[in-house]
Structure 1
Amino acid sequence: MISNASSTEAHGADAQPNVLLDDFLAYTLALQQPAHTGAAAQGSCAQGQLRWVWLDDGVLQLGPVHTTCTTPSVLLSAGIHGDETAPLELLSRLVSDLAAGRATLACRLLVVLGNIGAMRAARRYLDDDLNRLFSGGYAEVPASREASRAAALEEAARQFFTAAQVAHPRGSRWHLDLHTAIRPSVFEQFALLPHTRTPVAPALVAWLGAARIAAVLLHTTKSRTYSHFSAQTCQARACTLELGQVRPFGQNDLTHFAATDTALRDLLAGYSPAAGAEGSPRVPRVFTVIDQITKHSEAFELLVAADVPNFTPFPQGTVLARDGAYRYVVQHEQERLVFPNPGVKPGLRAGLLVIEAPREALFALPGPAVSA
């Protein structure tokens, strides 16, 4: 559950190092917790310009001491898959810089480090994929160690955005869920936008361009990801960001994520994304989901190389998977395979199939959902 922090002011929070803010990732992995009835549960930082509140393991809220009805609210999450370490290190460094005044915060910020048990075990998840348990999916696996965490993270997002909802317009709510992919990718850094039956906000597209995101994948059906939950339930501008490839803790070169890091800091500081050389925002290449490969049993075979990159194209007629009588055959002139993973549990998605779409599709009202 999301804990209620103490209302007691933290005295001297700027005068001495605070391990919680200096290295929020290490603090979280060590399972440290501030005293709920003492001064350590909240305080001030950045020379008294910011307030912070520890809400739960891996859940930290920061914001300016003084806010107005136009102050945006931004949720940044990472580690929903425990082995995706680079975004965790990126967010922890960002928290440290904000607390020390080395970065500017002009919005309400909620930082969420997701599957802590899986992070500590260096695993993607313990029992069930956390990013398939939101929007109430956790109720279907009550014995799962991920179920209670999914419920807690839903509640954290709901409380955070509800506090902003009355006074703040919809456009001031953002959720960027940071990931890294299991496999390499033709487009190393790409975004997945949830299916909400509303056009994509131009401001989000401009931000993705500023972050040098090379491709955008448009979902065509509802899902149980964290970004879909925040988009659908909290009316946030939300997306899932794939920023590179999975690496163990300590083996990430964070300079590789410089464009995303700069774009995140600009968003938190209230800066508008820079326009392209022609004076208009950079727009990533656009792909839309047209189908998925489903693993029906343990006899499932994914008929592609074990190291095939995301977005690899396959021509019409190619058999990509089989499982008993089930076959997946490429129906379009060309389909690209994203997130191929034969190791999922039976009944789950073992790959997405996408085709390229006009960039104008980003700003059009989505059509009816298709099977995916």
Structure 2
Amino acid sequence: MPHTHPVLADFLSFTLSHHPIDIVKGQLTNGVHWHYLGDGILEFVPQHGSDQSLVLSAGIHGNETAPIELLNTLVQNIATGEQPLAVRLLMLLGNVAAMRQNCRYLQDDLNRLFDHRHQKLPDSPEAQRAANIEEAIAQFFDAASGKKYHLDLHTAIRPSSFSRFGLLPYQSRPYDAYLLSLLERCDLGALLINHAPAGTFAYHSSQHHSAESVTLELGKVQPFGQNQLAEFAGINALMRAMVAGTEPTTAAQPYKTFKVVAQLEKHSEDFVLNLPSDVANFTAYPKGTLIATDQGYEYIVSHGEERIVFPNPKVKPGVRAGLMVVEVNN
């Protein structure tokens, strides 16, 4: 194995150990250029450039470790030449401070602070990190000459009827047909289509950089070292194919498609989610079910059946406490 810089040999350990270094760059024996741009941000560029640019992000929530470990292995494989690289690639670990403390976030949910919403919370450590990440992807995508893609990888904090699912951010332009075809080949059970602008990283890259973006939820939160990475073979194969500029070898598997019809609004600490505390993602409720109440607010199921996703009554007031979705025909 050729000698590699500590950044490349173990990107995750290097990031967690808090090395106070400035930008570092180098070139691999196969001509690939790499730039370490600061905490958790690493860029690769093929020797002869590329007209396709890809952002792979994980750890936007610091305790969602499996995707972080997948990206770490991918960095190692690019560094040794085992993984071919045919695209401009930005590898990004999100909430590094929370990763170091093995928690979801320190003060504020980072995935609610993009779309420049961090400007409302200037003293929050997550707000500062959101600003840094926005600057990094702006520089990366501003240098792009062709198609731009962004996969933001997460794991869920509660059980789910679908252990792996994707969320397309709201956008006024059509969704990318090639991305949709790729998502059929990474073992997803469901795909959600969002209904409104949001503070998520995927919405930000779609809205501000016209990237073809998706959030991928890939199973259950586990501590570092306790993930069964074989469970993520589908998304791992997809990422590696996109990095190599090849087609995934997995067969297409149809998923169920849902659209978001509402988000649960937490206005105050009087908010009550009228569901079991351990309710699973995609649990279905019939028309007329009272889902949530708050001061001057209640949410009652108005469609024949609605399912709840990301229920979390413990969020701060002003932050969504869940999404309500309905199934649509593909």
TM norm. shorter chain > 0.5: yes
Task: Mark the structure with the bigger radius of gyration.
Answer: 1
TM-score band (shorter)?
Answer: over 0.9
Q: 1:198 aligns with which of 173, 177, 199?
A: 173
Give the structure 1 partner of residue 47 of structure 2.
65
1:320 is aligned, of 291, 298, 302, to 291
Point out where structure 1 has 5 or more consecutive residues left out of the alignment.
1-13, 360-372
Shift of 1:156: 0.7
TM-score w.r.t. the length of structure 2 is: 0.96
Q: Find the counterpart in structure 2 of residue 303 from structure 1.
A: 274
Match of residue 42 from structure 1: 25
The separation in 2 between residues aligned to 1:32 and 1:340, in whole angstroms, is 37
Shift of 1:274: 5.0
Q: How many residues align?
A: 330
In structure 2, the residue matched to 1:158 is 138
Match of 1:87 among 67, 82, 87: 67
The one-letter amino acid paired with 2:156 is: A
Asked if 1:254 corresponds to 2:229, the answer is yes
2:326 maps to amino acid: I
Pick aligned residue for 1:30 from 7, 17, 23: 17
**Selected match of 2:207 from 213, 232, 237:** 232
Distance in 2 separating the partners of 1:286 and 1:178: 19
Per-residue Cα deviation, 1:273-301 (whole angstroms, up to 9, x for no partner): 4585xxxx544211001011111221221
Aligned to 1:119: 99
CA contact (8 A) 1:206 1:273 kept: no
The C-alpha deviation readout for 1:151-191, integer Å capped at 9, x for no partner, is: 11011111101101xxx23xx21000000011111111111
Between 107-116 and 283-292, the greater mean CA deviation after superposition: 283-292
Residue of structure 1 in register with 2:189 after alignment: 214
Deviation (angstroms), 1:48: 3.0
Distance, in Å, in 1 between the alignment partners of 2:135 and 2:19 is: 21
Quick check: 1:292 aligned with 2:256? no
Give 1:93-132 correspondences, 5 Å limit: 93-132=73-112
SS at structure 1 position matched to 2:143: helix
Q: How does 1:138-153 map to 2 (within 5 A)?
A: 138-153=118-133
| Separation in 2, partners of 1:17, 1:160 | 24
Q: Which amino acid aligns with 1:252?
A: N
Q: Which residue of 2 aligns with 1:9?
A: none
List runs of 5+ in structure 2 lacking aligned partners: none
**1:322-341 maps to which residues of 2 (within 5 A)?**
322-341=293-312
Displacement of 1:255: 0.8
Q: Is the CA contact (8 Å cut-off) linking 1:205 and 1:283 kept in structure 2?
A: no
Q: CA deviation at 1:326?
A: 2.4
Alignment check: 8 A CA contact 1:216 1:284 kept: yes
> What is the letter of the counterpart of residue 315 of structure 1?
P
2:106 aligns to what SS in structure 1?
A: coil
Deviation at 1:324, TM superposition (A): 3.8
TM-score, structure 1 length as denominator?
Answer: 0.86
Q: Is the 8 A contact 1:64 1:107 kept in 2?
A: yes
Residue 34 and residue 15 in structure 1: after superposition, are their counterparts in 2 closer, same or farther (change >3 A)?
farther
For 1:264, the equivalent position in structure 2 comes to: 239
1:24 partner amino acid: F
Following the alignment from structure 2 to structure 1, what is the Cα–Cα distance between the partners of residues 2 and 250? 40
Q: Deviations for 1:13-59, whole angstroms, at most 9, x for unmatched residues? A: x85342211110110011114454xxxx11122x3331111111100
For 1:266, the aligned partner's letter is: A
Quote the RMSD (CA, aligned, Å): 1.5
